[in-house]
């Protein structure tokens, strides 16, 4: 059950219709993910997608690191649809199964790659304490570089935004999808 209504294509602005057509031509997560919500504010879906497309295809970060950040974010906000959409992308990009499983279960992963460990520590500290210590900052910056770190922060921030959007509107899982975050808290506590 979703909170959102469908927009009639006849009621869309030209810009909304162009974006709608781009969504319709894409994979499931493009059609049924956050953009379906953002499309309700004309102009917003496109502006958000411009940032996302840059981070996805023009950034300097290794895809493995970017997908790690997205999974950390999905776990933090308990946005299961985001997790399910990105878990296979993270695996394709070379993130270890054991790391993915630990993240899903809320355990500290046993990282084999130093850059993953540094970025994970950075993201967790920023999300949990809102700040990062000098040591955590320096370790992450040394691992991915100054521009890479900016991309890590912006990926975390952009996907936090997408998580809030999907959580606020209770964007549903697709048919046949099972819940990946077993201890997720609903509005009334764990399910």
Note the residues at the interface with other proteins (CB under 8 A). 3-5, 37-38, 40-44, 47-48, 50-51, 54-55, 58-60, 77-78, 126, 130-134, 137, 146-147, 149-151, 153-154, 156-158, 160-165, 167-169, 185-188
Q: Report in angstroms how near the CB of residue 35 gets to other proteins at its nearest.
A: 11
Q: Shortest approach of other proteins to residue 99 CB, angstroms? A: 23
Q: Which of residues 105 and 133 has its CB atom nearest to other proteins in the complex?
A: 133
**Structural element, H or E, at residue 185:** strand 185-186
Three-state secondary structure call for residue 187 = coil
CB of 176 to other proteins, least distance (A): 24
What are 136's two structure tokens?
A: 């955590």
Q: Whole-angstrom Cα distance, residue 86 to residue 83? A: 5
> Which C-beta is closer to other proteins: that of 89 or that of 160?
160
CB of 91 to other proteins, least distance (A): 25
Residue 128 to residues 20, 73, 81, 123, 140: CA-CA distances in angstroms?
Answer: 36, 11, 22, 8, 16
Cβ proximity to other proteins: between 97 and 134 the closer is 134
Q: Are 143 and 118 in contact (CB under 8 A)?
A: yes
- Alpha-carbon gap, residue 165 to 33, rounded angstroms: 10
């Amino acid at each position: 059950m979703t909170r959102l209504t469908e927009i009639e294509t006849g009621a869309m602005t030209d810009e909304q219709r162009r974006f709608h057509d781009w969504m319709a031509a894409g994979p499931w997560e493009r059609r049924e993910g956050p953009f379906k919500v953002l499309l309700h504010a004309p102009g917003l879906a496109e502006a958000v997608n411009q940032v996302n497309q840059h981070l996805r295809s023009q950034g300097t970060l290794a895809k493995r690191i970017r997908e790690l950040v997205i999974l950390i974010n999905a776990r933090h906000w308990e946005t299961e649809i985001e997790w399910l959409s990105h878990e296979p992308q993270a695996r394709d990009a070379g993130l270890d199964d054991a790391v993915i499983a630990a993240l899903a279960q809320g355990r500290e992963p046993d990282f084999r790659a130093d850059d993953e460990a540094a970025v994970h520590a950075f993201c967790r500290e920023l999300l949990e304490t809102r700040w990062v210590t000098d040591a955590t900052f320096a370790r992450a910056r040394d691992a991915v570089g100054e521009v890479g770190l900016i991309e890590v922060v912006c990926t975390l921030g952009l996907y936090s935004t997408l998580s809030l959007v999907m959580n606020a509107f209770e964007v549903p899982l697709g048919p046949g999808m099972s819940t990946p975050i077993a201890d997720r808290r609903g509005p009334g506590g764990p399910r």
